Each structure stands twice: as C-alpha cells, then as structure tokens.
Structure 1
Amino acid sequence: MDFIPRILVVDDEQDLREILQFNLSSEGFEIDVASSAEEALTKPLESYHLILLDVMMGGMSGYKMADIVRKERELDVPIIFLTAKDSENDLLTGFNVGGDDYIIKPFSIKEVIVRIRAILKRGRATAEPSTTLQADGLKLDINRKLTTIDGTPVNLTRKEFEILILLMKNQGKFISRQEILNRIWSNDVIVTERNVDVNIARLRKKIGDYGSSIIGRSGYGYCFEK
C-alpha cells in the first residue's frame, strides 16, 4: 500500500481504545492512541490524516479539543466524534466546532471503518498531486500540511506554515513584510508588520538549526537561504 493513513484515537476508555487500535490496524491503518484530550494535544497533530475523538472525557472535552485544533492550531485534519450523546444540539455543537462526522455509541467497528474510509476518500479525491518543498533535512508536504525535520514532525500554525512555504518557494529572494501580509493574511483582518515579525520569530525557534536560514534585512524583509 503506497498510502497508509495515520489515525489518532482519543478516548479515555482503555477497552475501547484497544478495540479500535486492534481493528483499525488490521484494516491497514497506522494507529496512535491518547487517553485524554490533554495528551492528544502534545502530539504532532498535523501528521495525522484523521482524528477519532471522544466527546465526554475526564478533563478537557472532545469539543474543546476540536476547537483548539481548528482555531489555535489552525489545522484542518478531519475529526470524527465518538459519543453517546445524540441530541440535535449535540450534533450541531460537534459540527460547529469543526467536526466532520459524528458516530453514536454503541457502534459497530464496521460502521467506524466505513465512515473513516469515506472521509479519507473524499479528502484524497479533492487533493492535488503531492507537492513538497525541501532544504536538506527540512521538508514541507504542502498537501498534508506537514513539516518535518529529518523525518520528525514539527508543529507549526497555519500562518507559520504558509510563511515558510512562501519563503522556501522564493528561496534566495527577499519578500517584504507588506507582501507577506498581503499573501498570508486576508484583507479583512487588521494586522501590522509586527505580526509578521512575531510569526517569523516563532517559526525560527520551531525549526531549530534551520531558523538561521530565514534572514531578515531592514527595508527588504525576509529571505530563506540554505
């Protein structure tokens, strides 16, 4: 199989985690598990193709985690909620915080597999051919929204990822702060050139030794050089 989907199962019921991990692994998926939303948020979420997320857990709820994934992490990884709650308001809440599907407990493993395959198929059907950018060990998979350094995923926000794409696509060329603002931020959002500097500073820190490849020059902007 040339494409092995990576799925993160987040549920505080150990038995259910183990059942899902065993059966989904048997179907050819690569499975990671987390026993809480807090644990899941420590993982490189941008490296997964789909998240199976329980709603009611001790500590942070699945709804709150999904909200963080969408708004703070700015990730568009598909999310399927697993829950015993089936009221219309619960369903609406799940979709409003960025859920892609909703599976009511108790469920059959076959149903879960069918739902997963449907969402993954939909995502792959609309995707463009794989596009990557690379500078030595720093690699960007544009379609999967994944950044890795020597194969290890790096957790970037959407803005940081888009800035890095812009700079690496124009390697050796300085891009002004204003142009970065125009290309990365929408026109209806009030931001300043300081936003660019803050995001660049965070980006440099996250990509470690490759941070020195992002060069800033007063009056010219930023440039990526290997």
Structure 2
Amino acid sequence: MNTTPKILVVDDEKDLREILQFNLSSEGFEIDVAASAEEALALPLENYHLILLDVMMGGMSGYKMADLLRKEKALDIPIIFLTAKGSENDLLTGFNVGGDDYIVKPFSIKEVVVRIKAILKRGKMTAQASSVLEYQGLQLDISRKMTSLDGEPIKLTRKEFEILAMLMKNRGKFISRQEILDRIWSDDVIVTERNVDVNIARLRKKIKDYGTVIKGRSGYGYCFDS
C-alpha cells in the first residue's frame, strides 16, 4: 500500500510549478501539477492529501476553487494558499473559504515543506481521533453516519447529524446561524436562519438530557458547551 503523501500544486506560473515539483519530490512527496483551477478540477481530487493553491490565476481564482471544493464537492482536503497578497483581509478570505494555511510569496522551499508536514501530521492525528465524536453517553460515528445515546441507537436526519457533528467538532465555540446555513444547506436555494433553529430544536429533543449542552445566544449562534 502506497503511503507517500500525494500533493497537487495549482499555479499558473510555470517556473514556480517546476520549482515546487522538483523540491517537494526531493522531500519524498508525490507531486502533480495543474496550470489552472479548471485543469485541477478535472483531476480526481479525492486522491490527494493536500493542495498547494495559488490565489490569483487567470480564469477561476484559488479562492473560488477552494469554496467550490468545500461547498459543492464536500471535500476536506487540506489547502495551503500561495499568494503575493498578504493583507489581513486576504488572510481572512482564505480561511473563510476553507483554507488551512496561507503562504505569502516570495517564500522559501523550507517554509513550504515545514507547513506541509505540519498540516499532514495534524490531519493524520485528526483523522485518527475524529472518526468517532463522543461526549459522555452521546456518540457520533462519522464514517458510518450513526448516532447512539447511552449505547442505544437514535435516528437523526442528515441535517441534524451534520449540525451536531459540526458543533461537537467545534466544542466551546459559537457558530453563527449563517455559517451553519452555508455549510449544511449549501445545496439549497431558499433557506432562512429559521431552518437552523427548527433543526436545533428537534435535535435537542432527540438527544434528550444532552440537549442542554447545545447553547444558543442571540447574535452569536449555537455552541456545544461541554
């Protein structure tokens, strides 16, 4: 079984693609390259462990590609943005569309390698730990899409399951209704924040005593406050 991390470099600068491909291959990574977001989207992206993604490209931008991967394709592949723009707003935009890290050009290859290894290591640890989410007697099996309460299976709708998983993965952090809508209802056209409230209410009822750990606060959204 091949365990070599497979990385996709997406950048419209030919010289930079070649430099990254050569140097990262020398570090033991398997590297593929694409000259545009459109070219990258034609590849089997689920086979990659990480994407190095240029922000400013002709045609589709890196931000747009990342947003599409997260919302339409529902892929959780780590993304490191490569960009000549390093303002606070640019950083926030990158993280808001699902980026995991942000490297400002010009950069050293050593910096890129360190960032890649850190994210791959974190992802490996997260994958090992997050296939099952637990809080006391409440358990979510992410891979099998199953929920149990004190050892007994309970039936949640897909939206309820996804909301609970999202809240449990971000324990202690308030998530706005709009962010929940954007993540969970990205495929729907007409939804309102009321949809979130209704699903939260049903979810609290189904998980019984554990429903009290889902806190709501006006203007902040919801939090799994364990």
Query: Structure 2 length normalisation: TM-score?
Result: 0.59
Q: Distance in 1 between matches of 2:163 and 2:58?
A: 38
Q: Distance in 2 between matches of 1:65 and 1:182?
A: 25
Q: Distance in 2 between matches of 1:182 and 1:102?
A: 31
Q: Distance in 2 between matches of 1:179 and 1:109?
A: 47
Alignment of 1:1-226 (within 5 A): 3-128=3-128, 181=158, 186=163
Q: Distance in 2 between matches of 1:3 and 1:80?
A: 21
Residues 86-134 of structure 1: CA deviation (Å, up to 9, x unaligned): 11100100000000000000001111000000000111122229x9xxx
How far did residue 5 of structure 1 move?
0.3
Q: Distance in 1 between matches of 2:158 and 2:117?
A: 38
1:184 to 1:114, Cα distance in 2 relative to 1, 3 A: same
SS in 2 for 1:107: coil
The number of equivalent residue pairs is 151
Percentage identity across paired residues of the two chains: 72
1:59 to 1:2, Cα distance in 2 relative to 1, 3 A: closer
1:39 to 1:165, Cα distance in 2 relative to 1, 3 A: farther
Q: Distance in 1 between matches of 2:2 and 2:161?
A: 32
SS in 2 for 1:85: coil
Q: Distance in 1 between matches of 2:36 and 2:69?
A: 14
Q: Distance in 2 between matches of 1:95 and 1:124?
A: 20
Residues 54-98 of structure 1: CA deviation (Å, up to 9, x unaligned): 000000000000000000000110000000001110010000000
Unaligned runs of 5+ in 1: 132-161, 167-177, 196-226
1:124 to 1:60, Cα distance in 2 relative to 1, 3 A: same
Q: Distance in 1 between matches of 2:126 and 2:156?
A: 29
1:9 maps to a residue whose letter is V
Match of 1:207 in 2: none
Moved over 4 A (4+): 178-191
Query: Structure 1 length normalisation: TM-score?
Result: 0.59
SS in 1 for 2:86: coil
Match of 2:136 in 1: none
Residues 145-195 of structure 1: CA deviation (Å, up to 9, x unaligned): xxxxxxxxxxxxxxxxx8x966xxxxxxxxxxx87747866589999xxx9
How far did residue 44 of structure 1 move?
1.0
Cα RMSD of the aligned pairs, angstroms, is 3.1
SS in 1 for 2:3: coil
Q: Distance in 1 between matches of 2:19 and 2:122?
A: 25
1:46 to 1:2, Cα distance in 2 relative to 1, 3 A: closer
Q: Distance in 2 between matches of 1:111 and 1:185?
A: 35
SS in 1 for 2:128: coil
